[in-house]
Amino acid sequence: MEYKKWGMSVVAITLIVLCILGSITAIIDPYFHYHKPLESLEYPIYDERHQSDGILRNFDYDTIIIGSSMTLNFKTSELDSFFGTNAVKVPLSAATYNEVNSNLQRAFAANPNIKKVFIGLDGFAITRDKNAFAFAAEQYPTYLTDNYLLNDVNYLFNKQAFVTGSLRVLMHTLQKNKTTSFDEYGNYMDLYPFGKEAVLLHTGGRQPANEEQLLSEETKQIVTESIQKNVISLVEQHPDVQFYYFFPPVSMYYFYMLKQNGTLKGELETYKIASNLMLQCDNIHLFSFFEELDMISNPDNYMDAYHYCEDINSQMLVWMSEGSHLLTKENYVDYWDSIYETFNSYNYDPLF
């Protein structure tokens, strides 16, 4: 073979192969970057950070459930039946308020039909900086979440997106599976054991008690800025959309740890600050379920100190649809004060 023929062939064949592989990914689009699922194919939905942006921009929906892993077990079919909506679920494990906000900004920019948004307000993230992300910047597939067309090469010429994305869609279809429903997507009921043993394994059992710490002015400022930027500002931009924010009902073990750590009062104070700010917006419906002591103190409902079973997600939807457990401008101060009194004097011994 001649050098010229060899060189030209290598360049030409490589470009052709790349174009074919890239085209397959563009057409199948396993991360929904260009379009919603093709009707002729069945898609597994499994990858939060790579598929969420595509779901929010390209699916047909009018309602979103979004938040951290506390939203994984929600079933959109239940939400739709209670609220008469057509919802998508976008859980982002470990998400900060900023990350949730960024995703919602993208969703609103792409979909003018959004009517309701259900958002989990995690206690662990409330004191994070207003611009914080859960993971290091380089871990995020920013080529999927910006509007810069040229960096789509990262998606189209991506071995893993091709094999574990595009080919997986084809396999999923050939094996007669159906596109993952938003009831199934992320549901972890069959993945982890629940109950006291599992929870104690995660929490490590009893902990030494520390002195109670007061909330610093700096932390109050961080909470205020984060809520202003990531909640209030977004809500005010969309006065016709109803926002259902809720504090995920983490277990009594979580509050035990806060109490022992000396941060119980401080953390509930941050919830109070957030409530005060959020309740100024008429289109925010704010819920908290911590007074359901039987529910949150039953370890059978939890796999660790935080993550609850799907029954709790279902019950939350019932309560929210009924308008039960709603915080208002009138009741929120008393509510958080009474929660503090309850948890501060609670007998945690039966948990162990």
Out of 34, 157, 346, 348, name the contact with other proteins by CB under 8 A. Answer: 157
Interface residues for other proteins in 85-104 (CB under 8 A)? Answer: 93-94
Out of 74, 246, 306, 335, name the contact with other proteins by CB under 8 A. Answer: 306
Interface residues for other proteins in 16-35 (CB under 8 A)? Answer: 17-18, 21
**Sequential DSSP letters for 306-333:** SPBPHHHHHHHHHHHHHTTTEE-TTTHH
Question: Do the Cβ atoms of 34 and 58 come closer than 8 Å?
Answer: yes
Does 10 participate in binding other proteins (rule CB under 8 A)?
yes
Question: Do the Cβ atoms of 335 and 269 come closer than 8 Å?
Answer: no
Does 47 participate in binding other proteins (rule CB under 8 A)?
yes
- Binding segment for other proteins (CB under 8 A), chosen from 57-65, 75-83, 109-117, 152-160, is 152-160
Helices vs. strands in the chain: H and E counts, helices first: 16, 6
Does 57 participate in binding other proteins (rule CB under 8 A)?
no
Nearest residue (CB) to other proteins, 109 versus 174 = 174
The terminus-to-terminus CA distance of the chain in angstroms comes to 77
**Sequential DSSP letters for 179-197:** PPPTTTTT--TTTS--SHH
Nearest residue (CB) to other proteins, 21 versus 65 = 21
Nearest residue (CB) to other proteins, 7 versus 350 = 7
**Sequential DSSP letters for 331-348:** THHHHHHHHHHHHHH---
Residue 97: Cβ within 10 Å count: 27
Which residues, 6+ apart, have CB-to-CB distance to 4 below 8 Å? none
- Binding segment for other proteins (CB under 8 A), chosen from 117-125, 214-222, 281-289, 313-321, is 117-125
CA distance linking residue 227 with residue 122, whole number of Å:
12
- Binding segment for other proteins (CB under 8 A), chosen from 3-11, 38-46, 251-259, 289-297, is 3-11
Out of 27, 109, 153, 209, name the contact with other proteins by CB under 8 A. Answer: 153
Q: Contact positions toward other proteins, by CB under 8 A?
A: 1-7, 9-10, 13-14, 17-18, 21, 47-50, 68-70, 93-94, 122, 124-125, 134-135, 139-141, 143, 153-155, 157-165, 167-168, 171, 304, 306-307
